[in-house]
A and B are shown apart, each in its own frame.
Chain A
Amino acid sequence: RRGCGFGAWPRVAMEASELWVGFVGAGRMAGGLVRGLLQAEKVPASNVLASAPSDKNLDAWRELGCRTTHCNLEVVYRSTLVFLATKPHILPGVLEEIRPAVGSQHIVVSLVAGVTIQTLQRLLPPGTKVLRIMPNLPCVVQAGAMVFSRGSNAGDEEAALLKSLLSSCGLCEEVPESYIDIHTGLSGSGVAYVYLFAEALAEGAVKMGMPGALAGRIAAQTLLGAAKMLLETGEHPAKLRGDVCTPGGTTIYALHQLEKGALRATVMNAVEAATNRACEMAKD
């Protein structure tokens, strides 16, 4: 890794269009974020540099017009905004590697699950602007839900920049770091709960005689539509639920079944379990 050829790059301005964005790690999550950024034209592809050990992931990035490398240090030298998107167990080694190149002009944003701001700040030079973000999978289709927290040296400008950039991938909110594990339980893992629910919906339809493929598409559209209404009307879900329930009609009969199955409590249990597990894992 050492000794890859690169020149000294000048300091860069903070305007997004002038921003040089780097990704250390080029997996699915990073890919989702960059797609969002490019689609929303937040950053030109030529300003994006991604590194990964193999070409496997990097091909897709080149297709988007991004630059790629196998050298993590190069990413740090050529970028102002550096996203850390490695697997958790790899990160400490990577941080040690890039540490010498990290300076006061950098904004380091970690996507790495379970690695706290405290750990990041400990492994990077003192005074480094660090932020931690927890995205979720639908960032890849620009319908993600992301929360981020700032470290001691990240200020309003950095937070505003991150928020403005990442809103291109979905909902992006700043939160206290303690919410990040909750976000994992709610929305990081939450996506899987929705897939489970969609599968079950479709299965019910199949039982009643509808072909599986059609049922699957309708189930997905139902979830999408309901979520859209929730987000756009801003109404309380209980109210929207009531609106669908004509007296003595089909919906209330079905809801009664869901209540009998204590679905609400089960979902609460799921969010709790995932959140607790995230906390546990962060301690490891």
Chain B
Amino acid sequence: AGVLAAHKITASSPDTDLPTVSGLRKMGVNFTLSNKDTVKSSDVLFLAVKPPIIPFILEEVGPDIEPRHIVVSCAAGVTISSIEKKLSTFCPTPKVIRCMTNTPVIVREGATVYATGTHADVEDGKLLEQLMASVGFCTEVEEDLIDAVTGLSGSGPAYAFTALDALADGGVKMGLPRRLAVRLGAQALLGAAKMLLESEQHPGQLKDNVCSPGGATIHALHFLESGGFRSLLINAVEASCIRTRELQHLADQEKISPAAIKKTLLDKVKMESPSLSVASASKVSLFTSKSKKN
């Protein structure tokens, strides 16, 4: 998105064989095996490890956290207070921001929310917002809404992929070649989403606008309603949100003991998606960087 120069980004992972690692290297990101090095050369620290690993990472890098650091956790279900608690043994006022994003950040159409911790200033939140807004939509929320966000836009792309797969099947059934069916289905959803985002109108109204009386679309919609389409989607968002809370609850109770995690995992910290790299930038360079995405 042109927000950050690659050489200002450092990423660490114990496992150098991952395809994501070579991908990042190709982009010009600095790579190291040492988490501590990453912390030292960063101002904004994205923790992109799996949730059970977070406590161990915090233990490891805690001593190197300085007042300037903004620790951003993208780990599902890991609360701000749990991170602050862990870091407070090393640093009295750690700046923590919790964020929840989704996979389409890869194509700069992500949906990201963040909640600021006790010691994070307004500017810290705004800095994160600037970074994440370059890869999609980003807004601040109260932490207690993050589970709902997970259910909706966190998991949302999966619902969309499932829908697109099925829509393509429908197209194929009615005679379209698969590739074309996929392309058209995806474009239809993309276009609809764009219309909704750019319109003041309620989605119900937009739907009506497509349904000519007695026409093809209203016949199709009747099928969707008969199948309880809407309630299925509501159920899905609810299930994802509830499961997130369950996982968070389990994590809070620190039910996952060190013994439960593979020794190999303890030694190696796995990277998450390539887009959530551990970033570093001096504050000055960030604001003089190239213009953000559109």
Chain A interface (Cβ within 8 Å of chain B)? 236-239, 242, 256, 259-260, 262, 264-265, 268-269
Name the residue among A236, A237, A268, A269 with the largest chain B CB count within 10 angstroms.
Answer: A236
**Contact of B228 with A262 in the complex, beta carbons under 8 Å:** yes
Tell me which of B201, B202, B228 contacts A259 (CB under 8 A): B228
Q: How far is the CA of A146 from the CA of B205 in the complex (A)?
A: 25
**Contact of B228 with A238 in the complex, beta carbons under 8 Å:** no
**Contact of A237 with B204 in the complex, beta carbons under 8 Å:** yes
Chain A residues near B205 (CB-CB < 8 A): 236, 238-239
**Contact of B225 with A238 in the complex, beta carbons under 8 Å:** no
Tell me which of B204, B231, B234 contacts A262 (CB under 8 A): B231
Which single residue of chain B is at the shortest CB-CB distance from A267? B225
Extra contacts, 8 of them, besides A236-B204, A265-B228, A269-B226 (Cβ < 8 A), are: A236-B208, A237-B204, A238-B203, A259-B230, A264-B225, A265-B226, A265-B227, A268-B225
Chain A residues near B238 (CB-CB < 8 A): 256
**Contact of B202 with A242 in the complex, beta carbons under 8 Å:** yes
Interface of A is mostly: helix
Q: How far is the CA of A172 from the CA of B203 in the complex (A)?
A: 29
Number of interface residues of B (CB under 8 A): 16
Instruction: Determine if B222 is an interface residue (Cβ-Cβ < 8 Å).
Output: yes
Chain A residues near B201 (CB-CB < 8 A): 236
Chain B residues near A237 (CB-CB < 8 A): 204
Chain A residues near B230 (CB-CB < 8 A): 259, 264
Chain B interface (Cβ within 8 Å of chain A)? 201-205, 208, 222, 225-228, 230-231, 234-235, 238
Q: How far is the CA of A256 from the CA of B204 in the complex (A)?
A: 17
18 contacts between A and B (CB under 8 A): A236-B201, A236-B202, A237-B204, A238-B203, A238-B204, A238-B205, A239-B204, A239-B205, A256-B231, A259-B231, A260-B228, A260-B235, A262-B226, A262-B227, A262-B231, A264-B225, A265-B227, A268-B225
Chain B residues near A265 (CB-CB < 8 A): 222, 225-228
Nearest Cβ on chain B to A214's Cβ, whole angstroms: 31
Tell me which of A259, A260, A268 contacts B222 (CB under 8 A): A268
Q: How far is the CA of A265 from the CA of B203 in the complex (A)?
A: 18
Nearest Cβ on chain B to A151's Cβ, whole angstroms: 23
Nearest Cβ on chain B to A274's Cβ, whole angstroms: 15
Q: A236-B208, A239-B204 are in contact. Are A260 and B231 (CB under 8 A)?
A: yes
Nearest Cβ on chain A to B92's Cβ, whole angstroms: 35
Nearest Cβ on chain B to A104's Cβ, whole angstroms: 36
Q: How far is the CA of A238 from the CA of B211 in the complex (A)?
A: 15
Q: How far is the CA of A237 from the CA of B225 in the complex (A)?
A: 17
Nearest Cβ on chain A to B87's Cβ, whole angstroms: 31
Chain A residues near B234 (CB-CB < 8 A): 256, 259
Q: How far is the CA of A41 from the CA of B202 in the complex (A)?
A: 41
Chain A residues near B203 (CB-CB < 8 A): 238
Nearest Cβ on chain B to A145's Cβ, whole angstroms: 17
Chain A residues near B222 (CB-CB < 8 A): 265, 268
Which single residue of chain A is at the shortest CB-CB distance from B231? A259
Q: Which 5 A-B pairs have the closest CB atoms?
A: A238-B204, A259-B231, A265-B225, A265-B226, A260-B231
Chain B residues near A238 (CB-CB < 8 A): 202-205
Q: How far is the CA of A237 from the CA of B203 in the complex (A)?
A: 11
Q: How far is the CA of A268 from the CA of B202 in the complex (A)?
A: 21
**Contact of A262 with B225 in the complex, beta carbons under 8 Å:** yes
Nearest Cβ on chain A to B159's Cβ, whole angstroms: 16
Chain A residues near B235 (CB-CB < 8 A): 260
Chain B residues near A236 (CB-CB < 8 A): 201-202, 204-205, 208
Nearest Cβ on chain A to B224's Cβ, whole angstroms: 8
Which single residue of chain A is at the shortest CB-CB distance from B203? A238
Q: How far is the CA of A236 from the CA of B205 in the complex (A)?
A: 7
Which single residue of chain B is at the shortest CB-CB distance from A263? B225
Q: How far is the CA of A260 from the CA of B235 in the complex (A)?
A: 9
Chain B residues near A256 (CB-CB < 8 A): 231, 234, 238
Nearest Cβ on chain A to B215's Cβ, whole angstroms: 14
Chain A residues near B231 (CB-CB < 8 A): 256, 259-260, 262
Q: How far is the CA of A202 from the CA of B131 in the complex (A)?
A: 53
Chain A residues near B225 (CB-CB < 8 A): 262, 264-265, 268
Nearest Cβ on chain B to A255's Cβ, whole angstroms: 8
Q: How far is the CA of A262 from the CA of B225 in the complex (A)?
A: 6
Q: How far is the CA of A265 from the CA of B228 in the complex (A)?
A: 8
Q: How far is the CA of A115 from the CA of B208 in the complex (A)?
A: 32
Nearest Cβ on chain B to A264's Cβ, whole angstroms: 4
Which single residue of chain A is at the shortest CB-CB distance from B204? A238
Q: How far is the CA of A242 from the CA of B205 in the complex (A)?
A: 12
Chain B residues near A269 (CB-CB < 8 A): 226
